[in-house]
Amino acid sequence: MKRALITGVTGQDGSYLAELLLEKGYQVFGLRRRTSTPNYENVAHIQDKIEWISGDLTDLASLIEAVRISNPDEVYNLAAQSFVAASWPQPIATGQLTALAVTNMLEAVRIAKPDARFYQASSSEMFGKVQAIPQVETTPFYPRSPYGVAKLYGHWITVNYRESFNMFACSGILFNHESPRRGLEFVTRKVTDGVAQIKLGLATELRLGNLDSQRDWGFAGDYVKAMWLMLQQDTPDDFVISTGEMHTVEELVQVAFDHVGLNWRDYVVIDEKFVRPAEVDLLLGDCTKAKKELGWELEVGFKQLVANMVDADLKRHAGRPVEVPVY
Ligand code: NDP
Ligand code: GDR
């Protein structure tokens, strides 16, 4: 039985990856930090199948102990401060969690289980102000947020540990991927949750920032398969994972409102509060290398993804009482 340690297992990707590895017969160890209000919503259905280890990304001793206890064949480092917009008001915490903590995790593996295979969750945000369209593994990076800068450090330190210590360390440069388990603050989920609330009479408007930015959105369940595939190869390498399709935020909004038969223009309000100090205008990935070398394939397309998310949010809100305005 193979053993895997996942950091960030309570997050969107961690939950899908844990499911995938459990299906494959792995023993799955999940790192969890202490929080005042525990949130296991994403992993409630598999909570009893995960072996939980207490630890925090910023606490090297706890990470060494986590690697020692789990004695993993594979380590998936998914934990991070992952919300781009929060990285401006919290640039130092983002640097500690999204950049330096990657070295903590690599050190823990180097010290406690140097032959474990290591996956680092790198991001298309590293391309930022894009230097070529579409973006591939060799496209120069130009991050546009403290988050993007932090991810770039995590990416290069992973490459460096591979080259310095001959570790089996891979970096997946993943473009945006979404699901009904996506955090409510990210634009896809904010839109699908907002649409569901409006449809059910629980809200009257949806406040958004820049509708012109363009993203390459895929389904998280497809993307965790690519993470696993990267660690099954003969040699470690870095891969872009994307759909190769780009849509504006406005298109996302339109598809979501159309799905419930409403006109988005009647409900969407532009709010400067959600406009970022520096924007990534467009991201479009070319994952030819992953398709060829990993045999990775996409299953869920953009419209299906948005429809699934709206339906899940409608279901989640359906039991809530409708707030009837009092006149
Ligand atoms: P989420 O925000 O859903 O999950 C982040 C996870 O990190 C949570 O489990 C969180 O735990 C954990 N975490 C945060 N801080 C700490 C800490 N100090 N110690 C231990 N655990 C911590 O992110 P996603 O699942 O969407 O993304 C997974 C990874 O992939 C992230 O690194 C993200 O930056 C990266 N990425 C994501 C993409 C996407 O489109 N989703 C695209 C490219 C990269 P808790 O539940 O306690 O908060
Ligand atoms: P992103 O995702 O920054 O690409 O990072 P997000 O969904 O937050 O933003 C996507 C685009 O939508 C625009 N936008 C809004 N965004 C949010 N959150 N809220 C709004 O109201 C809103 N209005 C418009 C943004 O300006 C942006 O252009 C995600 C994260 O998962 C990262 O961790 C990951 O690395 C990258 O994807 C790839």
Q: What is the mean pLDDT of the chain?
A: 97
What pLDDT is attached to residue 80? 98
Please indicate whether residue 323 or residue 313 has the higher confidence score (pLDDT): 313
How much of the chain is helix, strand and coil, in % rounded to 5?
A: 45, 15, 40
Query: Counting runs of H as helices and runs of E as strands, what totals does the chain give?
Result: 10, 13
Ligand 1 pocket member 87 (CB < 6 A)? no
DSSP SS3 for 299: coil
Question: Going by C-beta distance under 8 Å and a sequence separation of 6 or more, which residues neighbour residue 112?
Answer: 64, 67, 68
Phi, psi of 285 (to 5 degrees): -100, 150
Mean pLDDT of 145-161: 98
Side chain identity at residue 113, one-letter code: K
**Atom number, ligand 2, closest to the C-alpha of residue 124:** 38
Tell me, which fold does domain 3-177+218-241 have in CATH? Answer: Rossmann fold (3.40.50)
Q: Does 147 participate in catalysis according to the annotation?
A: yes
Question: Going by C-beta distance under 8 Å and a sequence separation of 6 or more, which residues neighbour residue 53?
Answer: 5, 29, 30, 31, 32, 65, 66, 69, 70
Locate the domains of the chain by residue range: 3-177+218-241, 183-215+245-318
What pLDDT is attached to residue 38? 86
- Looking up tokens 């709010």 gives 271
ipTM of the complex: 0.99
Protein residue with its CA nearest to atom 15 in ligand 2: 187
Protein residue with its CA nearest to atom 6 in ligand 1: 8
**Within 10 A of 127 (CB to CB), how many other CB atoms are there?**
29
Say how far apart CA 226 and CA 232 lie, in whole Å: 10
Please give the distance, rounded to the nearest whole angstrom, from the Cα atom of residue 122 to the centre of ligand 2: 15
**Ligand of minimum distance to the alpha carbon of 209:** 2
Segment (H or E) for 287: none
Which residue among 125, 178, 242, 267 is the active-site one?
125
**CATH, range 183-215+245-318:** 3.90.25.10
What pLDDT is attached to residue 323? 56
Buried (b) or exposed (e) across 169-180, using 16+ Cβ within 10 A? bbbbbbbbbbbb
Please give the distance, rounded to the nearest whole angstrom, from the Cα atom of residue 26 to the centre of ligand 2: 33
- For 283, the token pair is 């991201």
200 near 320, Cβ under 8 Å?
yes
Protein residue with its CA nearest to atom 23 in ligand 2: 209
Protein residue with its CA nearest to atom 10 in ligand 1: 8
49 near 256, Cβ under 8 Å?
no
Q: Does 125 participate in catalysis according to the annotation?
A: yes
Please give the distance, rounded to the nearest whole angstrom, from the Cα atom of residue 317 to the centre of ligand 1: 25
The angle, 0 to 180 degrees and rounded to 10, between the axes of the packed helices 187-199 and 249-259 is 30
Handedness of CA 170, 171, 177, 179 (dihedral sign): positive
Which residue among 122, 123, 171, 242 is the active-site one?
123
110 near 262, Cβ under 8 Å?
no
324, pLDDT greater than 60: no
The reply to whether domains 3-177+218-241 and 183-215+245-318 share a CATH topology is no
Mean pLDDT of 143-152: 98
pLDDT, tens only, 154-177: 999 999 999 999 999 999 999 999
Say how far apart CA 307 and CA 218 lie, in whole Å: 13
Segment (H or E) for 198: helix 187-199
Say how far apart CA 25 and CA 10 lie, in whole Å: 20
pLDDT, tens only, 188-238: 999 999 999 999 999 999 999 999 999 999 999 999 999 999 999 999 999
The maximal CA–CA distance of the chain, rounded, in angstroms, is 70
**Ligand of minimum distance to the alpha carbon of 39:** 1
